[in-house]
A and B are shown apart, each in its own frame.
Chain A
Amino acid sequence: MRLTYNDHDLPGIPSMRRYSFLTLLLVLGAGLCAAAQSVSPVLQAMQTELDRSMQKLKTQPVPPYFLSYEIIDTHSYTVTAAFGKLTRSGESHRRQLDIDMRVGDYAMDNSHEIRGGLPTSSLASFSSTTVPIDNDPDAIRAVLWYHTDERFKRAVEQLTRVKTNAQVEVAPEDKSDDFSHEQPQQFSEPQRDVKVDLKAWEDKIRKYTAPFAKYSNIYGAQAILEVSAETRWFVNSEGSRIQTSQPTWRLFLVASTKADDGMELPRYESWLGFSEKDLPDDASVLKAVENMIRDLEALRVAPVADPYTGPAILSGRASGVFFHEIFGHRVEGHRQKWANEAQTFKKMIGQEVLPKDFSVYFDPTVERMAGTALAGYYLYDNQGVKARRVDVVDDGVLKTFLMSRTPIEGIPQSNGHGRAQAGFAPVARQSNLIVQVAQSSVKPDLKKLLIEEVKKQGLPYGLYFADISGGFTFTGRTVPNAFNVMPLVVYRIYPDGREELVRGVDLIGTPLTTFSKIEAADNHAEVFNGICGAESGGVPVSAVSPAILISQIEVQKKQKSQERPPILPAPFAQK
């Protein structure tokens, strides 16, 4: 299961380079106030050391032309329980440093792609450096100093390799610069910490998982509370100086059962907010737990889906995942440049990539929508570039790509989507993906349309995807350019309107053809919040979409787990 709820778990991801996955988190939100504040001693120490490094290294044969430091301070609480009993409870505080050291110039620097060699894994470029959690400028500077020196030497060495490679290989198709010119940014919002009443939450988390305990065929049932305050300090040699601070509250439920044939059947529920009061009350959570139990019981005995080609409805949440996976990853700018990427959309700017009533934009500055907080909300990206709305598809026509400070041909600047998990180098990543549908394609009753389509195609039934989890997309050149998302709750819709739950459905197909088969949408937007993992680590994202009707999708049977349900009955069931 590639579902994650916890950023700390993500260092495992680099091995899954170029796959990405999105996980479920439902959201609520809170306000944010920006106010001027005296400069943090951490930011001051970063500035001092940055200035000193640039000054002292200036006389080197190959001096740096750019240097940035980002320190991410994470103060977090985690409470976990299973089947009503506590399994973990704790608090942690850490600071991690990321350095971007560049030698050469904006046109060609040490970040330049080396072609023809082995692809460099992001695991190799992962480096997590711990910084003291005390606001002690000298101790922090000592860490900055040592790692700056290390990074400088590495950068100089890498630039030599880059230059040699550029002479040996044929000129690249994309002759854009390696680094964009951007306006320096100054911004500071007050640092906001979180305080969690651990005792009270331990009781709540126990209470949320207690209802699962009496079911002898539910084999996993966990609730996790993850609360963190993330403060980011950023300085660069161009004059940017940024302090942002954001608390996040996440509540996550996961439970699973197994069918008699061994198929794993999981269910997830989650909530996300920017303050404690954004989380749902006990009654709402317990209601969700009840639904999960009901779904699991139903799924366990549901018939296995047959391979199917025909029309389907994707719920808003399912559609959000669908767009994130099959569309969103393909409009990440650097993928149009890197030689080993498929570059699906590279030459398609100005062309129709979606039906003409469909538009897609990414907006990290939107804090909440459809009544829920959006996980992909931020004010500045991890390269210190101001966040902004990017209209990627307008009336079906591809307009631009999501950009970090790595330019591509025709798009010389960042649009505030250079993102990374602490320890990884930022690349273009998604934020809040929002699907907008023009009125002419909005139909109030998609089910009716689906049934019409089923009848027209002479099929026994159509499919309704109520919920989808995870999923991953291959955008590389060496693997088939196909997508695979994991539907959790799928119904067959019969011509008479009857609905039947099925299990073991895998959605497959080639992306470009699937886009062209979107027929209509309803007028009810739903939010899907999650952590997306890719080469720059896990970043929080969201996808907002109405339900959509697709005239033709393809499904296959899901691979099932080898292991059968437990041999002995549950100990408490035997008494």
Chain B
Amino acid sequence: MLKQMKIAVVSLLLAALAAALPARAQDDVVMKAMRDELDRSMKQLQLEDLEKPYFIAYRVVDSESTGVSASFGALDSSSQGRSRRITVEVRVGSYQLDNTNFFSFNFNMSSMVQAFNGTAELPLDDDYNELRRQIWLVTDSAYKKAVEDLAKKRAALENKVDTDRIPDFSRETPTQTAITAAPIHVDRAQWETEARNLSALFRAMPDIYTSSVSFSAVNSNVRYVNSEGTRYTRQEPRVTFNAHANTQAADGAPLEDSMFLYASSLDALPDSDALATRVRALGQHLQDLRASAEIQNYNGPVLAEGDAAAQLFRMIFLPNLLGVRRPMMDSALSALGARAGISADNPFLDKIGGRVLPDFLSVTDNPTLAELNGKPLAGTCKVDEDGVPTRQTLLVDKGILKTLLTTRDPVRGIEHSSGSRHDGQAAPSNVIVTADNGLSQDDLHAKFLALLKQENKDYGIVLRRMRTSGQPVMAFKMYQDGHEELIHGVQLSGLNAAAFKDIVAASKEQNMLTVEFRPESLMSILSPGDEGFAPVTLAVPSLLFDDVTVRKVRGETSKPPIVPSPLAGEN
């Protein structure tokens, strides 16, 4: 047994060595500068009698981006740019207790300096000495902040009784990974023409007040190295297409809709004709909404289908599945933070092992899958931001919460990273919700109507599309005879994660939705990645809720424009 283990260890070491060697040989000048400065800092960086760092990580992101946007047939902007930025993590103390998971604010330093501590612009030119200089300087200031934070944190801890003190950093097995992908080559002039043409479609719709169409492409190249021996390089091309339009209903209700398409290559984006069809449909839908009926208050069964099912799940349920650690605060700040509600803990931390969904629903996060139901998944990746290998995580099993997605910042009850760090915090990748004995669409409709009948309702509300702001933009009244009526100005009231436990039925088929996942934590907002936010694909069945309050959007809205649009042609 012992011998077997020894062999296993040796072979593991050999495998690691084998993996390390080619990577070392391939080191480019940037990676070499990162590694050399990392080695020097780990050995020598120390302020008098204070501690040396026990962990340093460098992440350098090269990004090359192209963006084009247009409205009503004319170009609004067109740009192209390159940047190279480094983010440094310096940890002082120990895995058990270090300078992180602590939020402090130094009133002697300008807020700009603090916000950008640990990040720096690097030269675009591949020059070893210059890269070393910039990495040296940014490491120095990150280390100084780290020792200061650790001292403050220790002082703050002395005054506190911490009932469940958990480690600040998890230990993970070092890995070496190289992910390559073909970069996107954009013909900017062609995109300009296409953006003009697509945006010009709104000229024929004078009821649309403002609109825009935009393309963007980013080729990012990430290099990562840490003092534990983890290293990765990741090339990631991303293309996005956005269209947005707004108008108002006669009653003043603001109406807006947008579409977001994501692809990892130009070919994967729909062709011009298909895009035109979708842009036209977006405009047409807004025009239909203008003419649609206003909603009355409604309490009863609601069926979420299509985009709406996935969006609803993403906005209301998914955030609870993320093991985001609440930072400890400086005593001066913690009072402020408590008032602002920053200190609110994720309620699901205490629900592990408990029921959070009906027993026929299960949720998995799976970054290892490239395709589902024949469609590409956008959140696929081999390693996360920390270089931790990604894996499938069963989050909810037959309605019971199993675990949360985590990073190397452990949360109560979860010691290790699930390989889920993106944009600085725990984030989903591909979220797959499955229903045991899921219904066909017809059966689900039948069930919905039966439920309505049981409750003596003339009609029920069906949601088909939602925007990221959380307002349904495609909602219908569905009557007993099966006919539907489009409604506008719809707002869901009081629908929270707990309500998902009461879902009464779900479809067999999954609705696929890809969005950019925007982390909600304060620190992540301060340091948005140059490469944009990580894409997430959700596959969620249509969901039938038993009892939801739906009401009219409240709040003051201004009246529709007094003068007709110049595009209306009546001048």
Contact = CB atoms under 8 A, between A and B. Distances in A.
Most buried by B among A89, A94, A139, A567: A139
Nearest to A564: B144
B140 A52 contact: no
Identify whether the interface residues of A are mostly helix, strand, loop, or mixed.
Answer: mixed
A246 B248 CA distance: 40
A566 B109 CA distance: 17
B393 interface: no
B456 interface: no
B563 A140 contact: no
B358 interface: no
B108 A134 contact: no
Contact of B44 (A81, A152, A568): A568
Nearest to A95: B76
Interface in A561-575: 561-564, 566-568, 570-572, 574
Contacts of B41: 568
A88 B140 contact: no
8 contacts: A82-B134, A88-B124, A89-B82, A92-B79, A132-B72, A138-B73, A563-B109, A570-B136
Contacts of A132: 70-72, 74-76
B136 A571 contact: yes
B22 interface: no
A87 B561 contact: no
Contact of B71 (A90, A142, A219, A574): A142
B154 interface: no
Interface residues of B, number: 56
B566 interface: yes
B561 A145 contact: yes
Interface stretch (B125-133, B427-435, B491-499, B501-509): B125-133
Given A87-B123, A145-B563, 10 more contacts: A52-B566, A52-B571, A86-B125, A89-B124, A90-B81, A131-B76, A145-B561, A149-B561, A566-B137, A574-B40
A87 B121 contact: yes
B212 to A, nearest CB: 9
A141 interface: yes
Contact of A90 (B79, B136, B567): B79
Interface of A: 48-49, 52-53, 56-57, 60, 81-94, 130-134, 136, 138-146, 148-150, 152-153, 206, 213, 219, 561-564, 566-568, 570-572, 574
B231 interface: no
A221 B16 CA distance: 41
B11 interface: no
Nearest to B72: A139
Given A146-B210, A146-B561, A219 B137 contact: yes
B524 interface: no
A56 B81 CA distance: 44
Given A85-B130, A87-B121, A138-B567, A130 B140 contact: no
Nearest to A136: B74
B105 to A, nearest CB: 13
Contacts of A90: 79-82
A520 B210 CA distance: 61
Contacts of B72: 132, 136, 138-139, 142
Interface string B520-561: 000000000000000000000000000000000000001101
B133 A139 contact: no
B123 A138 contact: no
B129 A56 contact: no
Contacts of A566: 136-137, 140
Contacts of B77: 92-94, 130, 133
Identify whether the interface residues of B are mostly helix, strand, loop, or mixed.
Answer: mixed
B162 interface: no
A141 B74 CA distance: 11
Nearest to A559: B108
B78 interface: yes
B47 interface: yes
Nearest to B206: A142
A5 B30 CA distance: 30
| Closest 5 pairs (CB-CB, A-B) | A132-B74, A139-B74, A85-B123, A136-B74, A134-B74
A570 B133 contact: yes
Nearest to B127: A85
A571 B563 contact: no
B58 to A, nearest CB: 14
Most buried by A among B37, B132, B196, B561: B561
A141 B209 CA distance: 12
A127 to B, nearest CB: 14
B83 A88 contact: yes
Given A132-B71, A134-B196, A563 B566 contact: no
A49 B566 contact: yes
A139 B124 contact: no
Given A86-B125, A134-B196, A53 B563 contact: yes
Contact of B133 (A149, A567, A571): A571
B109 A145 contact: no
A60 B566 contact: no
Given A568-B45, A570-B133, A57 B109 contact: no
A570 B134 CA distance: 10
Contact of A567 (B81, B140, B203): B140
Contacts of B82: 88-90
A571 B37 contact: yes
Contacts of A49: 566
A18 to B, nearest CB: 19
A128 to B, nearest CB: 13
B75 A133 contact: yes
Contacts of B36: 571
B340 interface: no
Contacts of B209: 146
B229 to A, nearest CB: 21
A562 B125 contact: no
Contacts of A134: 73-75, 196
Contacts of B563: 52-53, 56-57, 145, 148-149
A85 B121 CA distance: 12
A130 B76 contact: yes
A153 B77 CA distance: 28
A141 B82 CA distance: 34
A139 B133 CA distance: 49
Contacts of A136: 72-74
A563 B141 contact: yes
B562 A568 contact: no
B26 interface: no
B106 A562 contact: yes
A148 B109 CA distance: 42
Nearest to A85: B123
A571 B80 contact: no
Given A142-B71, A219-B137, A57 B562 contact: yes
Nearest to A81: B123
A220 B41 CA distance: 20
Most buried by B among A81, A85, A574: A85
A143 B209 CA distance: 9
A113 B440 CA distance: 64
B480 interface: no
A561 B109 CA distance: 8
Nearest to B81: A90
Interface string B385-404: 00000000000000000000
B143 interface: yes
A83 B130 contact: yes
Most buried by A among B72, B133, B571: B133
Interface in B110-168: 121-125, 127, 129-130, 132-134, 136-137, 140-141, 143-144
Nearest to A60: B562
B567 A571 contact: no
A564 B148 CA distance: 13
A146 B563 CA distance: 9
Given A132-B74, A149-B562, A567-B46, A142 B123 contact: no
A568 B75 contact: no
A572 B203 CA distance: 60
